[in-house]
């Protein structure tokens, strides 16, 4: 095993190399050029683990965003005409270079998001897999010839919709861009990407590698802005007549705003929004397997994931065993700076989010929930660290029950019957992911069918590989990413009738 000191020296070396490669950028990427904001304004990017400034990026306004959209619109006219095999070759070259620099990418990702380095490496590999997948899907988009009752020929083709705006969150800043952008580029669309103001550096690094791989200018454009300018920039991106579609991952609240703005132009829209995922353990389940799944589903990225388990529904026959084992596993977690060896849990992303998680915890305690472990701010580690918690006695009058936690709190609910479990699981406006553990095959199919969610993991929490459709129902959004369905979000169907044959 390497010492922590050695690991820190290694990571510092990687960071220095990253800077020499110019992967840490302080400019935006528009029309193949690295440019500042028209106002020359910048904002700082912080490491949430220690509060240090790790970079500065442009704080663009709507005028800058308009230039990025115009560049993408010009590029679309030529990119859409490139034969699929050439687009495949370019995307695979980009994929190869991103794999080559995956450690450098992961280092940037950990510094700006706070997640443990092994998780960042995993995210980069996962994101790259989408680039590889969609580069190959280009060659498998099929049209149709419809049988006719006359001498006419009836043809159906898929065409790229045009300029796509991609707005991504801070919790998975690499993989979300890779998943959306690779599908859009594959079918012939061009992109304007606005990453979160919390985590813009890895997006700009991806653009630098795209530039090295030979992606034509204007095909990819990345703009950054502070929270102050986000409303005006977002409105421009969603209402511009040059934009044909918008893909957004983030909160349901913001998703509804984007939905409304895009309605003015009747744009193609894909929304991957919040979740309130139930994690169900039935009496027949392998409890040890369920515990392993629970640790994965709850604590990846400190619980800051849209598919994180939110409400733990445990049947009465295995309730005590599950809770006891869960507490022991949670207390084994190592909390700290994601660059340090062996760390499982990093900081929350910012002070506003820490405040929300703390308030959710206090609301539950004041309303009678029982705190079994954790649940406190760990100021000795840094101002954004929160000790993972296990809470029982969660009721429907508590915010832990109704709201997306997005943090390291396990809220446990005991249930008796299958009917109770399904009722509680579906008693939410969200419908992204659900998880259930059972050894009863009939029960598995019966409950999976009844759960109101776009995705169900059965005895499995790593349930979202690249070849599967990712997305939700109800207020968790619509549209699908990944799988062969992912490219169809960025195409429209053209029907042609050939007569007089």
Q: How many beta carbons lie within 10 A of that of residue 133, not counting itself?
A: 23
CA distance 257 to 101: 36
Instruction: Please indicate whether residue 272 is annotated as part of the active site.
Output: yes
- Asked if residues 392 and 371 have their Cβ atoms less than 8 Å apart, the reply is no
How crowded is the C-beta side of 91, counted as CA atoms within 13 Å? 32
Q: What is the dihedral of CA 78, 79, 82, 86, to 10 degrees?
A: 140
CA distance 367 to 90: 57
CA distances from 320 to 279, 283, 296, 326 (A): 16, 11, 20, 10
Q: Between β-strands 430-431 and 433-437, what pairing exists: parallel, antiparallel or unpaired?
A: unpaired
CA nearest to 479, candidates 389, 45, 500, 487: 487
CA distance 43 to 47: 13
DSSP string for 408-468: SEEEEEEE-SHHHHHHHHH-SSEESEEEEE-S-HHHHHHHHHHS-SSEEEES-S----TTS
104, 132, 197, 272: which one is catalytic? 272
Beta bridge partners of 458: 436
DSSP string for 207-248: HHHHHHHTPPTTSEEE----TTTHHHHHHHHHH-TTEEEEEE
CA distance 106 to 199: 12
Query: Which tokens hold the place of 345?
Result: 């849990």
Please give the positions annotated as active site: 272
């Amino acid at each position: 095993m390497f010492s922590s000191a050695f690991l820190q020296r290694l990571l510092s070396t990687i960071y220095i190399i990253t800077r020499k490669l110019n992967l840490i950028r302080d400019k935006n990427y528009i029309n193949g050029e690295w440019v500042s904001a028209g106002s020359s304004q910048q904002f700082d990017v912080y490491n949430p683990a220690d509060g240090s400034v790790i970079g500065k990026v442009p704080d663009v306004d709507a005028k800058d965003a308009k230039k990025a959209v115009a560049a993408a619109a010009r590029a679309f006219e030529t990119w859409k005409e490139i034969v699929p095999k050439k687009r495949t070759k370019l995307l695979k070259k980009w994929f190869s270079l991103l794999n080559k620099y995956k450690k450098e990418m992961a280092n940037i990702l950990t510094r700006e998001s706070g997640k443990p380095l092994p998780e960042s490496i995993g995210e980069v590999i996962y994101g790259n897999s989408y680039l590889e997948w969609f580069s190959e899907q280009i060659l498998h988009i099929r049209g149709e010839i419809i049988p006719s009752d006359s001498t006419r020929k009836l043809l159906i083709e898929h065409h790229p919709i045009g300029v796509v705006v991609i707005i991504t969150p801070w919790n998975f800043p690499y993989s979300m861009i890779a998943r959306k952008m690779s599908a859009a580029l594959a079918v012939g669309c061009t992109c304007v990407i606005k990453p979160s103001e919390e985590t813009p550096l890895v997006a700009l690094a991806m653009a630098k590698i795209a530039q090295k791989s030979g992606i034509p200018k204007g095909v990819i454009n990345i703009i950054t802005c502070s929270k102050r300018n986000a409303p005006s920039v977002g409105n421009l991106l969603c209402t511009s007549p040059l934009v044909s579609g918008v893909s957004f991952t983030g909160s349901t609240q913001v998703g509804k705003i984007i939905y409304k703005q895009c309605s003015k132009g009747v744009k193609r829209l894909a929304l991957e929004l919040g979740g309130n995922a139930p994690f169900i353990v039935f009496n027949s389940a392998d409890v040890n397997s369920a515990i392993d799944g629970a640790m994965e589903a709850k604590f990846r990225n400190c619980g800051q994931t849209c598919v994180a388990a939110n409400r733990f529904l445990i049947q009465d026959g295995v309730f005590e065993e599950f809770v006891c084992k869960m507490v022991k596993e949670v207390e084994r977690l190592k909390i700290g700076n994601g660059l340090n060896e062996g760390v499982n849990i990093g900081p929350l992303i910012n002070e506003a989010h820490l405040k929300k998680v703390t308030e959710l915890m206090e609301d539950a305690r004041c309303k009678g929930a029982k705190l079994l472990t954790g649940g406190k701010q760990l100021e000795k580690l840094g101002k954004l660290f929160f000790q993972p918690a296990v809470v029982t006695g969660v009721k429907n009058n508590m915010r832990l029950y109704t709201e997306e936690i997005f943090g390291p709190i396990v809220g446990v609910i005991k249930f008796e019957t299958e009917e109770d479990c399904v009722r509680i699981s579906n008693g939410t406006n969200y419908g992204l992911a659900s998880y259930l553990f059972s050894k009863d095959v009939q029960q598995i199919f019966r409950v999976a069918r009844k759960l109101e969610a776009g995705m169900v993991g059965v005895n499995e929490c790593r349930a979202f590989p690249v070849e599967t459709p990712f997305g939700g129902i109800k207020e968790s959004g619509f549209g699908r990413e990944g799988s062969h369905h992912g490219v169809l979000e960025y195409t429209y169907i053209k029907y042609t009738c050939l007569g007089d044959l």
